Amino acid sequence: MQTQTTDSKEIAFQKRIDAGDKIEPKDWMPEKYRKQLIRMMSQHAHSEIVGMLPEGNWITRAPSLRRKASLLAKVQDEAGHGLYLYSAAETLGISRDELIEQLHSGKAKYSSIFNYPTLSWADIGAIGWLVDGAAIINQVALTRASYGPYARAMVRICKEESFHQRQGFEIMNTLANGTAAQKKMAQDALNRWWWPSLMMFGPPDAESPNSTDLMAWRVKSDSNDTLRQKFVDRVAPQAEFMGLRIPDDQLKYHEETESYTFGTIDWAEFNQVIKGNGPCNKQRIRARVKAHEDGNWVREAALAYAEKHSKTA
Ligand code: FAQ
């Protein structure tokens, strides 16, 4: 029997992708597909875990027991999302230790948005409403990703994110319709989180080096700019409903296209943040490294227990 060459395997692989097949961990895949997925999925997992920090900062200061319970549950959900995604990335042949090391050393990125500080309670509303709102738009598209374990993790994650988005919207709406001081706090949070939320979708299409491959492999089904536009079209009327002003003088609705045009994003700021020079990058990595070191004894104890029981089994 003739052995298949790498080229013919790649052609067969692309045919499966084009036919809408899901690729599973034991299936043959091109090395560059595997590497791209590890990059993207691990960054996503790291984002969920680092993303717990800005909100975790407010758990002890939530204004009521109801708000505290829902924030606590939300932050815990983000930890769960990180774990599903680390497990899904491990199916591609990379270990959890390697993934964590890449985060701590700065080799792997995590979402730029989590390098901004949470200065007031309204920031918790803004994160749920805008950041989870942006994450849902991005991740609903990823439920159709060609890699089975990623797509399946996304289905569950999206369901949970939609609760998160609603709790954020409810916080913002309550503040926006509260006292003048509360409304001011909500507006200030929107002013600070708006542009970084637009940056979450990644650089403009023309400057997105990974999109071509990821779209050809049906990992990404929409481009960065397409998803960003969807987000603006969804969120702008919500801001108006709450009586809040999006901090963009160029934001304009067009009846004919039923969509908005908006001002220019400060890509220099985005590039600085992803290079490690955002307001909180160093603090975030320090917190993650410390949490990992503080958890060493738990991992050691669990491994010792597993080893002892494998010997007695
Ligand atoms: N931040 O070629 P592209 C959440 C990097 S989860 C940092 O366009 P790609 C839930 C990119 O990695 C939020 N880096 O890249 C939550 C690449 O650098 P590299 C995370 C960014 O992969 C809520 C370079 O720029 N979601 O929020 C960013 O095609 C509340 C060139 O970019 C996901 O990860 C950025 N924003 O598109 C949790 C979703 N954008 O790696 C807690 C999955 C780009 O070559 C609280 N990921 N870069 O060195 C994706 O959809 C894609 O990876 C994109 C980027 C759209 C993020």
Could you read off the pLDDT of 278-290 as tens digits, one per residue?
999 999 999 999 9
Q: How far apart are CA 98 and CA 105, in angstroms?
A: 10
If you measure from the C-alpha of residue 275 to the centroid of ligand 1, how many angstroms do you get, rounded to a whole number?
A: 13
Parts of the chain with a pLDDT under 50: 1
If you measure from the C-alpha of residue 117 to the centroid of ligand 1, how many angstroms do you get, rounded to a whole number?
A: 19
If you measure from the C-alpha of residue 113 to the centroid of ligand 1, how many angstroms do you get, rounded to a whole number?
A: 10
Query: pLDDT of 58-87, one tens digit each?
Result: 999 999 999 999 999 999 999 999 999 999
Question: Which residues make Cβ contacts (< 8 Å) with residue 161, sequence separation at least 6?
Answer: 132, 135, 136, 139
Residues in the ligand 1 pocket, defined by CB under 6 Å? 39-40, 43-44, 47-48, 51, 78, 109, 111-112, 127, 131-132, 135, 138, 199-203, 208-211, 214, 224, 274
Q: How far apart are CA 246 and CA 236, in angstroms?
A: 7
pLDDT at 3: 62
φ/ψ of 94, rounded to 5, equals: -120, 145
